[in-house]
Amino acid sequence: MKRHLLPHKPHRDFESAAFKKGFQKIAGVDEAGRGSLAGPVVAACVILPFDSLTLAQGEPWQEGINDSKLLSPAQREECYSILVEKVLGFSVGIVDSKEIDQINILKASLKAMQLAVQSMSTRPDILLVDGRFQIPLEMEQRPIVNGDALSLSIAAASIIAKVTRDRLMKELGQEFPHFSFAQHKGYGTKRHLREIKTHGPTPIHRLTFRGVS
């Protein structure tokens, strides 16, 4: 019988490697909402407070940080509250559905990341970026596939981005009461597809996405 293995939690190996190379302000960057049929794509840039000791041992408040997709809404909210208090700096970047339709979702995701980095009051020395592509910025960066599951900094960014976007979608649910954006967050659930079929797309739907038009 095969043994069921739980996914590994994000670690600090990438941050440690960057720290050993002399980088002090190590930022994780990730986005949320890339696969949604409606609403913006939101990215976050986060600098966790690292030194040689915390990189080796970690800190108790970091224990709950994980890939946002593996956390419940309540866990994400709790981590968000801790992160905004503990991090050295964070910022978000947002690209709306109209621009997503104009430039495509990959470019929009990278632009949201770019905006998040550029909005930082503390400039990072290096970026750890979720995915396989670099952000269009002239600065040191390392793309990491599945980075939100591997890097603590990217996992922290995934939480900030996800909670920020979820809150935006709840607000949009009040603006468009025929759609349950507070529940499905714009993703292609059966309920959402039924709402599109019944009421037609709203101004925040991504018209170039399959299932919308």
165 domain-assigned: yes
List pLDDT tens digits, range 51-63.
Answer: 888 888 889 999 9
DSSP string over 69-119 = GGS-HHHHHHHHHHHHHHSSEEEEEEE-HHHHHHH-HHHHHHHHHHHHHHT
List pLDDT tens digits, range 9-30.
Answer: 899 999 999 999 999 999 999 9
Task: In whole angstroms, give the CA distance from residue 67 to residue 173.
Answer: 25
144 domain-assigned: yes
4 domain-assigned: no
Total domains in the chain come to: 1
List pLDDT tens digits, range 145-199.
Answer: 999 999 999 999 999 999 999 999 999 999 999 999 999 999 999 999 999 999 9
Give me Rg for the CA atoms of the chain: 18
What is the arithmetic mean of pLDDT over 76-96? 97
178 domain-assigned: yes
Statement: residue 4 has pLDDT above 90: no
64 domain-assigned: yes
Mean pLDDT of the chain: 94
Tally of CB atoms within 10 A around 166: 21
Q: Record the tokens describing residue 209, joined without a space.
A: 């996405």
211 domain-assigned: no
210 domain-assigned: no
145 domain-assigned: yes
- Domain containing 18 — which CATH number? 3.30.420.10
Range of the domain at 168: 13-199
